Amino acid sequence: MTRKLHLNLFLHDTGHHEASWRLPESDPYANLSLEAHQRLSRIAEDAKFDSVFLADSPVLWSDPGRRPSGKLEPTLLLAALIASTSRIGLIATASTSYNEPYNLARRFASLDHLSGGRAGWNIVTTAGADAARNFGLDDQPLHADRYQRADEFLDVSTKLWDSWADDAVLADKRAGVHAAADRVRSIEHRGRYFRVDGPLNLPRSPQAWPLLVQAGSSEDGKEFAAKWAEAVFTAQPTLAESQAFYADLKKRAAAAGRDPDHVVILPGIVPIIGDTAAEAQELDAELDRLIAPRYAVATLAHLLRVPAESLDLDKPLPEDLPPEEEIEGAKSRRTLIVDWARRENLTVRELIGRLGGGRGHRTFTGTPVQVADTIQEYFENGAADGFNIMPAVLPSGVEAFATKVVPILQERGLFRTDYEGTTLREHYGLPRPASRLHAGAVRDRGYR
């Protein structure tokens, strides 16, 4: 079978460019609108995207003056989107640091049942002391501790999803037996972070497990992804960096006893599309003019862990930045941004302009053919299995990509013209996990 691209739409209020909300076309209340999310999801489904994705954090993300900052709880929003879509996958972010496995496993199993097998979980460990203080802690747990908790969290969650055998539900009216009790098992988990008896109070869902997605690119994050992730969102600003990340993660997955083809790697791309290159550049320049530097500098300073007054707009980053080993949150993103600024000798003003569009993801300004060419280059040269599409402006950005770029990819034989399956796993070409707790389970994910 010819290898096909995978496309995920990352929905982000009025668009990924931080100034998108200031454009005349933008609805500054779209972040709170079910109708807006439904419309965008249907556009993506009509274009045969694999999935749509909602990010989240249990903390106010930025200065509320900077851009729309309110966030609807994503699993609730996905439940509402189930009713307005029929085939596209639906991925929500949820933290392993500030949830419990039983509640979250139940929530995602419920979404998978209600959607007919279209649910995905973007697993995050949640950095930042401000989030920790919303949950009764004085500071965030250490980076390594967050990933150790996440590993055990996934172990418990997958056991809970496996606690019902696929054939447990009989619904035998004549015999008066709804489910075979011997096909429903407690998990009796006892670990460092969790004590969970189980079983889950839901039968196994259509996908068995929701699609497991991860986005961390630190050493701990990559090891976690190699063990658990089935799709990986990553931020790599150049082809060479994307190729290096792709090769490294596939190698790690193989070392973990998994099939590397069952880890789908999706770099983020922020396309700014115009019918001509000049039109695209004009939109890009307009967006950058609308960035408010006072907010952007404060956000950059927070990421770098330096005082905002130490950043001069017209000078490069200071030389004496804290090293990565002293950073406890967003390690990989911080290092990516610092390396990028050093490599291209960017001033702080130039850097915040670059970050305003994609926060370290690859930004690309051009015509539909040029965008398609870039996607094809990455896909055919060991840098990506597909892309996390992050429109700079909504709704026009996703409309342009869906109606002008997708047809080019389809004409080139790179992307589907129709869905071939019904579940999110089928869209991504991934197997349905066999149970670890019941007879006949296949050890195909590197479990020991």
37's torsion region: left (phi>0), alpha (psi -120 to 50) or beta?
A: alpha
Task: Judge contact between 349 and 300, C-beta under 8 A.
Answer: no
The answer to whether 20 is annotated as binding is no
The rounded distance, in Å, linking the Cα atoms of 36 and 58 is 22
Q: Would you state the structure tokens that stand for residue 389, as one six-digit string?
A: 């599409």
The rounded distance, in Å, linking the Cα atoms of 386 and 29 is 30
Per DSSP, 432 falls in state: P
Which residue(s) pair with 93 in the sheet? 122
The answer to whether 335 is annotated as binding is no
The rounded distance, in Å, linking the Cα atoms of 99 and 78 is 18
Task: Judge contact between 310 and 301, C-beta under 8 A.
Answer: yes
Q: Which of 272, 291, 447, 288 is nearest to 365 (CA)?
A: 272
For residue 212, count CB atoms less than 10 angstroms from its CB and return exposed for 0-12, middle for 13-18, buried for 19 or more. Answer: buried
Residue 338 identity: V
Which contiguous run of DSSP H or E holds residue 95? strand 89-95
Residue 282 identity: E
**Mode of pairing for the β-strands spanning 169-172 and 177-179:** antiparallel
Dihedral sign, Cα of residue 130, residue 393, residue 416, residue 116: positive
The answer to whether 96 is annotated as binding is no
Helix, strand, or coil (residue 291): coil
Cα–Cα distances (Å) from 161 to 116, 122, 302, 433, in that order, read 16, 17, 38, 10
Dihedral sign, Cα of residue 161, residue 166, residue 168, residue 171: positive
Q: Which of 262, 280, 259 is nearest to 271 (CA)?
A: 280
The answer to whether 423 is annotated as binding is no
The answer to whether 147 is annotated as binding is yes
**Distant-in-sequence, close-in-space partners of 311: CB < 8 Å, separation ≥ 6:** 297, 300, 301, 304, 317, 318, 348
The answer to whether 51 is annotated as binding is no
If one counts every other C-beta atom within 10 angstroms of the C-beta of residue 164, the result is: 27
Q: What is the maximal distance between C-alpha atoms in the chain?
A: 79
The rounded distance, in Å, linking the Cα atoms of 229 and 262 is 9
Task: Judge contact between 299 and 423, C-beta under 8 A.
Answer: no
The rounded distance, in Å, linking the Cα atoms of 89 and 207 is 12
Residues making up the binding site for FMN: 56, 93, 143, 147, 217-218
Residues making up the binding site: 56, 93, 143, 147, 217-218
